[in-house]
Structure 1
């Protein structure tokens, strides 16, 4: 009898394991080329196998965010002339399909980043050309209410690229009490206190963290321990590492995302920490087309341990799957998402030879299988 129960238990564990292996991968794109909008795939995070599931039409859905219950997807429509907006899709996990519900103005031109807070009641969106960001309430049916928009002012040393504010991301703090807003145009990470009740951002007691002149702050992420944060600087090609506490950032390191001696154009894009908190990765676009790999020590400081080719042109967003087994990178100009195997001990990447063909991919997000 014990033997029978042992077999049943092993079978149950096998089934559970299989359920946890499969995740949906959602891809946001630019629609100026071969893409029609958003694409959904399913990936086995043990084997790296990927299968196409569905797609949904949208105009330039270049960045995505999911509600905490993963029933709704929020996609920016990165357009100008007061056409910047956030589209809302319902997401049916039983078949992996997206259904367009509604859209709302983003409060500015060329929205390029969207995030949902921990309660699932607020969206924050960055308007790149508008130099502003907005918070929008999420209604009970998943749709969005009217935006509250905060306009930045100022400029910096690069008169062509930093002639005015260019808000590049909107990141909620782990405790949901702050929003961090990197602005490429003014070389500052603006910091706002956030009330999840009212949703209205207010300047924090320390209202910003300045970055080196001409660095161009872009994407920002927290370490899984909630006590560290990292910023990738697009124009300077570097990462700023910070200690974080109660809405305040304390700089502990500034390190290049490029190899020593690199003399080409610096053009960094995205940044993420591995699920175990031991490694940090950042993408560098053309001409480098690499992923910089760093180890993270106990103090939060970084040590460069390598640079891996992205096997494509203009790598944008990348993602590490929830199990930590694979890293996927979206190469915008070569219409491919390349799948790398990730060594959890060394942090290094190996090309699996597998990739996804999709037009102008920019953003990659995960959702649990049903």
Structure 2
């Protein structure tokens, strides 16, 4: 058995047509059968993304809403059975906080609409101090509807006290270094990963050695493979994760690497699919294995358990969690179970 948490959209104003979520969900996965059991909800407004500390003792999550609704970032202590005990919360000075990550003793929150990232010190008891630094992105892109202003979409830790902030408008994963004395972030532009203009970089993953990065574009539905070994990142491949038969909307969402490093997965809202790629061992380039329906609508997120056997898709607009078993030979997916989870948008393993 393994526990996982889910985020959800709970109220109007969130990026969902009919938000009916109940807060932070706690579920149990039977790692033998793939069956999921609901345990409890912890009430919170639109907790769209969350992260668990490396020691599995603390959970942090954001409220994704406009700043005039006073969104906050929350810190919880995790109990033995996944129970959450509220520690404290801090103000989010931004609109639509959508992602967060722990880097050293900082929690960094990215806000999509306002295009900024906030750095919060994590205190010894796991609680959060008020944010100590704001990183503000500026710029526009060629897609005048979606790239009218900077949109910070993800915080991705790497190296020693470093992070990428992936921005949809700048078509870039911008690199930053934390000064361990001043505790301030400084841009390191020589490490920036730039993708095609107008592609709309959203999320990214890196291989275990952090020699290659895989950047997902939301607007054009491509994965860009970047070789980081030569100092300045170099794009060596781009490949579509949209089925050729799909003529509708493109809404690239989540990207994950299998724990064995051999397969990469990317979801698209619109075709309601997860693309499956094999990662070539030497070049790290991608070859398409196939596509899997998420058996639901709007797969905003999915995640793979640490054993590499199970993948769970969060179907936002069909209110379902769908469990797939991963074939270890070719990475393909086979549906095993489905459970209701209202307006579910994130999956975070404990």
TM class, shorter-length: over 0.9
Higher-Rg member (1/2): 1
Deviation string, structure 1 residues 289-327 (Cα, Å, up to 9, x no partner): 000000000211000110110011110110011111111
Unaligned runs of 5+ in 2: 12-18
2:9 counterpart of 1:30: yes
Structure 2 CA distance for aligned equivalents of residues 195 and 231 of structure 1? 26
- Counterpart secondary structure, 2:154: coil
2:45 counterpart of 1:62: no
Match of 1:332 in 2: 316
Match of 1:96 in 2: 82
Match of 2:16 in 1: none
Cα offset for 1:285?
0.2
| 1:3-42 aligned within 5 A | 22-32=1-11, 33-42=19-28
Cα offset for 1:209?
2.4
| 1:270-289 aligned within 5 A | 270-286=254-270, 288-289=271-272
Structure 1 CA distance for aligned equivalents of residues 180 and 59 of structure 2? 20
Deviation string, structure 1 residues 200-233 (Cα, Å, up to 9, x no partner): 2111041632221211100111112322211110
Given candidates 211, 216, 221, the residue that maps to 2:200 is 216
| 1:1-370 aligned within 5 A | 22-32=1-11, 33-82=19-68, 83-93=70-80, 95-117=81-103, 119=104, 121-147=105-131, 148-173=133-158, 175-206=159-190, 208-245=192-229, 248-260=232-244, 262-286=246-270, 288-298=271-281, 299-352=283-336, 354-367=337-350
Structure 2 CA distance for aligned equivalents of residues 90 and 197 of structure 1? 28
TM-score (norm 2): 0.93
Using a 3 Å threshold, how does the CA distance of structure 1 residues 362 and 325 change in structure 2: closer, same or farther?
same
Structure 2 CA distance for aligned equivalents of residues 324 and 67 of structure 1? 20
The number of residue pairs the alignment matches comes to 340
Using a 3 Å threshold, how does the CA distance of structure 1 residues 85 and 318 change in structure 2: closer, same or farther?
same
Unaligned runs of 5+ in 1: 1-21
- Counterpart secondary structure, 2:165: strand
Match of 1:5 in 2: none
Deviation string, structure 1 residues 50-88 (Cα, Å, up to 9, x no partner): 222222111110000011111111011001134232111
Structure 1 CA distance for aligned equivalents of residues 298 and 77 of structure 2? 30
